[in-house]
Structure 1
C-alpha cells in the first residue's frame, strides 16, 4: 500500500512499527485485562468522584485478529496524525492502542469493538468486530467519546482503507445520522 499517496497531509508521520513490535502487538492487544488496568479505571473514577457502575474485572477484548491493512499502516507509521480532505486522523500507536481502549472503557460501552484512533474532535474510529471479517476487514464505526454506544455510532466505512480514503469530516458523518 502506498500510504504516502493516500493522505494529503502527514502532520506527524512516525517511524513504522518493526516486525517484532507487530508480533508483540498481535500477542498482547486483546489479552485479559490486568490488575493494573483495573486499578487505573478505579482510580480514574475515584479522582472524578464518580461511582463505577460496572466491573472492569469482567471486561474482555475481542478475540479476533486485526485487519491486515491496519497492520500495514502501523508498519508505515506507528500511529500519527494525518489528513485527507476534511477528514482528520489521530491514529493510536501500538503502545497507545490498548491504553486508550481501557481509558475510554470500550470493553464496557462498545463490547466487541476497539478504537484505533480519533479525529481530533472527540470522535473515535472503531473496528466493529461483532461479526466475522468480510474480505479481511471489519466495518468502521465512529462514535463520540461522550456517547460510546452502538445507538450513537455511525458506520462510516466497510474497511480501514475506505476510512482512510474518505474526505468528509466525522462531524459531517455524524450530522447525517441526526438530520
Structure 2
C-alpha cells in the first residue's frame, strides 16, 4: 500500500512480518492480570473508589475477536505508525502495532465502544476506529470517528466503509 500522491506523509519504518504477526496475535487477546490491575489502579486514581455506570469491570469487556483487515495490515507493512494529512483529514498519529492495544485499554474503549479498535488520532483528540461489531464486508470494517472525551457509538461518525476507502478518498469528506 502506498499513501495517495499529493498528501503530506511522514511514515515510520515498515512493521516487520514478526511485528505484524505478534500484533495480530496479541492485540485482542484477553486482558492479563497485570493489565487488569493497572486498569483498576488508573480507574481508582481518576474517580476514587466509585465506579462507572455500569460498574467498572474490565474483566468482562468485549474485545474484538475478528481478523484485522488486510488493507490495514498492508498499511502497517508500508508504515508502522506515523503522521499523515490529506485534503480533509489528518492522522496524527496513526498508531504503531505496539500502541493500538495501549490506547484501546487506556481509554477504556471496550467499555464505551465494545468491539472497536482504535487505529489513530486526528491530532485534535478524536479517534479513528475500526467498527468490528458486524461481520466484515469484503474483509473490511467501517471506520468511525469518535472524540476521546465522548466515546460512544451514538456520538461516533462513520467516515468510510473501509480503511482503504478512507485512504483512497484522501482521508474522507469533511
Fold match (TM-score > 0.5)? yes
Residue 81 of structure 1 aligns with which residue?
A: 83
SS of the residue aligned with 1:151? coil
Residue 96 of structure 1 aligns with which residue?
A: 99
Mapped contact 1:7–1:164 kept (Cα < 8 A): no
SS of the residue aligned with 2:59? helix
Mapped contact 1:80–1:91 kept (Cα < 8 A): yes
SS of the residue aligned with 2:158? strand
- 1:6 Cα deviation after fit: 4.8
SS of the residue aligned with 1:155? strand
Mapped contact 2:160–2:172 kept (Cα < 8 A): no
* Gap runs ≥5 in structure 2: none
* Structure 1 runs, 4 residues or longer, greater than 6 Å off: none
Structure 2 matches for 1:1-179, cutoff 5 A? 1-3=1-3, 5-6=4-5, 8-11=7-10, 13-50=11-48, 51-53=50-52, 54-89=56-91, 90-167=93-170, 172=174
- 1:115 Cα deviation after fit: 0.9
Higher fraction of helix: 1
With structure 1 as the length reference, what TM-score do the two structures score?
Answer: 0.87
Deviations 1:82-134 (A, max 9, x none): 11113110211000010100001011111111111110111111111111010
SS of the residue aligned with 2:145? strand
CA distance in 2, matches of 1:36, 1:78: 26
The number of residue pairs the alignment matches comes to 169
Mapped contact 1:30–1:60 kept (Cα < 8 A): no
* Gap runs ≥5 in structure 1: 173-179
